[in-house]
Structure 1
Amino acid sequence: MHAFHVHYRNTQGTLMRILNAISRRGVEMPYVQAEPHGYNHRVSLLLELNTKQIGQLFRDWHAIVDVVEVRAGAPTEDMMELAESWDAARHPPASAGAGGSARAAMA
């Protein structure tokens, strides 16, 4: 897992363009936190990427006009803790099944 901190000016659509660069690649975002940081804003992300994807994202983020700075670093304990809870939450319980509702829909 890689942690990224993208500093940007909070203009209309900037955060969506930052997040859209990730979602276009089909990468899961188990941790996203956007907050004011001085005169600008910062979004912190935790992503599982290979080196090629890291290069692509850095290039895409730097191409966004209102992005001021992009940093990569080690994930914090809080990030990892929340990412682990994300992994547990995205899988339905083993007893949940769609078999009965699928048969009812076909009737």
Structure 2
Amino acid sequence: MSNKINLSPKEWDAIREVARALRFFAEERMYTYIDRIADAFSPNIAVAALKDALRALRSEVTRNPNIYLPSENSIEIVIKLLSEKRDSGNVLAALALSFRPRKTSSKVEGGGS
């Protein structure tokens, strides 16, 4: 038995997009939604946790319009994955908990000629 999860490039893109949105909760130290997705005992529980997280994100957008919301297509793909591939919830949660890439400055410190 292999622990490898096989995802198409389109499925990976969808998981990354939804994880990007869920990262808001990790940054705010509100891990409940992410944990519920990762720890779900059934696909229905994982999908319900995702729905609750998306509802909370939608509410946050009214206070902070810069919050990222995933596309409907990506959400559909992730729901299908959560329903068919149990490990996809763990992948989604792990990516949501990852840090954003830090922007590097191209300025040179010090100056002088």
More strand as a share of residues? 1
TM-score in terms of structure 2 length? 0.28
Q: Which structure is larger by alpha-carbon Rg, 1 or 2? A: 1
More helix as a share of residues? 2
TM-score in terms of structure 1 length? 0.29
